[in-house]
Structure 1
Amino acid sequence: MVKLTGSYEINAPRETVWHTITQPESLQGCIPGCQRLEDVGDGNYEAAISAQFGPVRGSFNAKVSIRDWNPHESYRLVVSANGAPGFVNGEAFITLTEDGGVTTVNVDGDGQAGGLLARVGQRMMENVSRSMMDRFFGCLAESATKG
C-alpha cells in the first residue's frame, strides 16, 4: 500500500481551480502519459495511459470515477488501471480551500499495485507516484492561472 498526501497552492480563485480540475480536457493534458480520456457519464471516465515506474514501463487502461461531489470544495477520486505490467488501484480525497485569491488543494490518498509493478518495491512506487502527482498538480496550477 502506498500512502500519498500533498498540498498544492494555486494562485487562482477556488472556482477557477475547481473548473480546471473537473474538465476532461485539463485532466487529459495534465495526467502524465495520458493518451486518451473519455467521459462515459455520471462522473466516470475511461483512459489510456502510458507510464513508467522505475524500470517498469507499460500501457494501462484505466477507469476513473469522481464521487462525493461537493462543488468548489471537495471530491473523491477513484482509479483502477490494468496493463501488462500489472495493476494500480487508488483512491484520493481532494479538498480545496481559498485564502485571499490563492487556492490550496489538499490530497489525501492511497493506492496499491500488483504484478510486476508490485515487485518494483514500495519505496520506488511512492517516489514515482509522488513525482507524477507533483507534475499533475503543477500542470493544473499552470492551466488555472492562464485563465
Structure 2
Amino acid sequence: MKIEGTETLHAPRDRVWALLDDPQALASCTPGMQELRPTGPDEFEAILSIGIAAVRGTYKGKLRITERTPPERYAVQVEGSSGAGFVRAVGVLELEDQGAQTGVRWSGEVQVGGALTLGSRMIPGIARMLAGQFFQCLDRKLQEGSA
C-alpha cells in the first residue's frame, strides 16, 4: 500500500538536511523507537514499540539508507517483525528549498504479513499519524536550535 504526504519545516533546507543526517536525532523523533544501533555504513538495527490498535507490538528490524542526495533527497528501506507479523517498507523524503522554510514531500510503500494483514486497512492512517508526530518533533528540534 502507498502512503504519502507533505510537511513544512520551519528552518532552511541545509539545517533540515543536517538533522535528517543525524541518526540520534532520527531515533529521538521516531515514535516508539527504543533502540537504533549502527551495524555498518548507512545500516542500523532497530527496536520499535508501537501501542496502536492493529499494529501494537514490539518490532525488531533493520533500516538501511538506500539513497542520500544532499540536501534534496533521502531514501530508506525498512523491515521488521513482531509476534503479530512483519512489515517491509521503502520511503523517500524530498526536500524543497523555500528560503527560511523547507517543504518536505514524503512517500512510502508498505507491505505487511501475518496477523497484521487483518488490520491492513488501518495502516495508512496509522502511518500518517506516526509521520506527523515524527515531523512535529523534527520541527521542534529545528525551532529550538538543537539542529
TM-score normalised per structure 1:
0.93
Deviation per residue, 1:78-97 (Å, 9 max, x gap): 11011111111100111111
Q: How does 1:1-147 map to 2 (within 5 A)?
A: 2-122=1-121, 124-147=122-145
Deviation at 1:65, TM superposition (A): 0.8
Deviation at 1:52, TM superposition (A): 3.0
Deviation at 1:75, TM superposition (A): 1.6
Identity of aligned residues (%): 32
C-alpha separation in 1, matches of 2:70 and 2:96: 12
Deviation at 1:4, TM superposition (A): 1.0
C-alpha separation in 1, matches of 2:54 and 2:75: 30
Deviation per residue, 1:101-131 (Å, 9 max, x gap): 1101110211011111111132x11111111
* Structure 1 segments of 4+ aligned residues over 4 angstroms from their partners: none
Unmatched segments (≥5 aa) in structure 2: none
Aligned length: 145
8 Å CA contact 1:53–1:125 kept in 2: the answer is: no
8 Å CA contact 1:46–1:63 kept in 2: the answer is: yes
RMSD (Å), alpha carbons: 1.2
Worse-superposed segment, 3-12 or 50-59:
50-59
- Where 1:72 maps in the other structure, the secondary structure is coil
Closer, same or farther: CA 72–78 of 1 in aligned 2, 3 Å:
same
Deviation at 1:57, TM superposition (A): 1.8
8 Å CA contact 1:85–1:117 kept in 2: the answer is: yes
Unmatched segments (≥5 aa) in structure 1: none
Deviation at 1:26, TM superposition (A): 0.8
C-alpha separation in 2, matches of 1:91 and 1:75: 11
- Where 1:92 maps in the other structure, the secondary structure is strand
- Where 1:121 maps in the other structure, the secondary structure is helix
Deviation at 1:56, TM superposition (A): 4.5
Closer, same or farther: CA 126–5 of 1 in aligned 2, 3 Å:
same
